[in-house]
Chains A and B, each alone.
Chain A
Amino acid sequence: MADTYGVGIGWRPEIDGFVAELPGLRFAEVVAESVHAQGDLPAGLSRLIDRGVTVVPHGVRLSLGGAEPVDPERVRHLAAVAGRLNAPLVSEHIAFVRAAGIEAGHLLPLPRSRDAVDAVVANVKRTQAELPVPIALEPIAALFDWPDDELSEADFLTEILDRTGAGLLLDIANVYANARNRGDDPLELLDKLPLDRVAYVHVAGGDEHDGLYHDTHTHATPQPVLDLVAELCRRHRPPALMLERDGDYPPAAELRTELDAIAAASGYPAIT
């Protein structure tokens, strides 16, 4: 993705009509598992592609951080969807979602250990071998850490990126959530990450429960996350930043305000 796309949004069937009416939209993302490898694309998604919007498939079930090898069938599906969408890249998470045949139902954190790095790198390489386009990897928000982390978060991520050649999908709300829940400074992580490797950025909202910040994607993006967007763009502005909203959809005017706030914080033109 050498191009610059500006502000985008995660396409979801529930906000299909809203997304269709964004005049300046050039970038969107769709959950890869929600797209059929064959058969018709959802009509709204086809129309976006027809009008030249770049749509990136975002996998959530590959389990790249699983100790077991990634499921070849899931990799083939992701590759097929990338082809169908004519996407310039795909993305997935640095996380595991199942173990010993049990689905966790969510993205779970890895220990920041040497053997976990090896497991992720092996699975990313297996995936890259089948993909027609590059992959960007997203570090997740985690409510807890493993007890025996050997590497700092920045070293853990940088080593995975260096050994795989993958891009970074930086979720700025995850950076905020993890720093807040660990009592760290989010700017310290930003200063240590290879920001020139950022393919695009996720922006999302969350909520606090019992003293922990939950990255829900069902609340409005809070001001401190928008402030981090500005800090990130001051250091190295990524080619695209997109709003990730996964439920409790607000009225269109509120979503537009949020997209405008991301535009203002990043210095990209408003797309509304």
Chain B
Amino acid sequence: MSDLAARQAALVEALTAGKPVPDGFDGFRVEAARVALLRKRAGEVSRQWPMLAASFGERWKREFGEWAAARPTQGSLRDGWDMARELHKRGSLNGAAAEELAEREAAMRYDGAGAPQPRRTPAVRSAAGAVVVQFAGRVRVIRRAS
């Protein structure tokens, strides 16, 4: 690896993976860039995952920033998907945000490591208060009567 390549890698790791700021840089300014980067990512994820973002209200940018601080982006679709799955596993994904995740899970196959792919076979996923059915690429949400 060339000197420039190694130095670029160290800077990217400081900005995205929680590694220390390389020697000689202005720590205050690199930190400002790191926080701005997380705010920008939060905005991009909220466009792909509007219900996930809305479930946090005013706290969205801060909560996403904490979740993403040591996770370099895999693109906003996967970032939001990974965060939603984690929240779902902890039982803290509710309402429209849970339905949004169930819809994506029914429509696409995502192994957590590569790009999500459209499902070729029918799928059923349940979310709080709803069942999501995907058949031939069309996604239907069936809400239970409350």
Chain A residues with a Cβ under 8 A of chain B = 66-68, 96, 98-100, 102-106, 108, 111, 113, 115-116, 119, 142-148, 209-210, 212, 214, 247
Is the Cβ of A99 less than 8 Å from the Cβ of B5?
yes
Chain B residues with a Cβ under 8 A of chain A = 1-5, 7-9, 11-13, 15-17, 23-26, 29-30, 32-33, 36-37, 40-41, 43, 72-75
Which 10 residue pairs of A and B lie closest in terms of their CB atoms, listed nearest first? A147-B24, A67-B5, A144-B29, A100-B9, A99-B8, A99-B9, A67-B4, A105-B73, A143-B33, A99-B12
Q: Which residues of B contact A103 (CB under 8 A)?
A: 16, 72-75
Q: Which residues of B contact A148 (CB under 8 A)?
A: 24
Asked if A66 meets B8 with Cβ closer than 8 Å, knowing A105-B41, A105-B73, A144-B25, the reply is: yes
Asked if A115 meets B72 with Cβ closer than 8 Å, knowing A66-B8, A144-B29, A214-B36, the reply is: no
Query: Which chain B residue lies CB-closest to A115?
Result: B4
In the assembled complex, the Cα of A67 lies from the Cα of B30 at a distance in Å of 20
Q: Which residue from B2, B3, B29 sits with its C-beta under 8 Å from A212?
A: B29
Nearest CB on B from A71, distance (A) = 15
Query: Which chain B residue lies CB-closest to A181?
Result: B29
Asked if A143 meets B32 with Cβ closer than 8 Å, knowing A104-B12, A108-B12, A111-B7, the reply is: yes
Is the Cβ of A102 less than 8 Å from the Cβ of B72?
yes
Asked if A102 meets B13 with Cβ closer than 8 Å, knowing A143-B32, A144-B29, A209-B32, the reply is: yes
In the assembled complex, the Cα of A66 lies from the Cα of B7 at a distance in Å of 11
Is the Cβ of A115 less than 8 Å from the Cβ of B16?
no
In the assembled complex, the Cα of A146 lies from the Cα of B14 at a distance in Å of 14
In the assembled complex, the Cα of A104 lies from the Cα of B11 at a distance in Å of 9
Is the Cβ of A102 less than 8 Å from the Cβ of B32?
no
Q: Which residues of A contact B2 (CB under 8 A)?
A: 67, 115
Q: Which residues of A contact B37 (CB under 8 A)?
A: 104-106
Q: Which residue from B12, B25, B36 sits with its C-beta under 8 Å from A146?
A: B25
Is the Cβ of A143 less than 8 Å from the Cβ of B29?
yes
Asked if A68 meets B5 with Cβ closer than 8 Å, knowing A103-B73, A147-B25, A210-B32, the reply is: yes
In the assembled complex, the Cα of A119 lies from the Cα of B3 at a distance in Å of 12
Query: Which chain B residue lies CB-closest to A212?
Result: B32
Query: Which chain A residue lies CB-closest to B8?
Result: A99
In the assembled complex, the Cα of A106 lies from the Cα of B15 at a distance in Å of 10
In the assembled complex, the Cα of A119 lies from the Cα of B29 at a distance in Å of 25
Is the Cβ of A144 less than 8 Å from the Cβ of B73?
no
In the assembled complex, the Cα of A108 lies from the Cα of B37 at a distance in Å of 10
Known pairs A103-B75, A105-B16, A144-B29 / 19 extra A-B pairs, C-beta < 8 Å? A67-B1, A67-B5, A99-B9, A100-B1, A100-B5, A100-B12, A102-B13, A102-B17, A105-B37, A105-B72, A106-B15, A108-B8, A108-B15, A115-B4, A116-B4, A119-B4, A144-B30, A209-B32, A212-B29
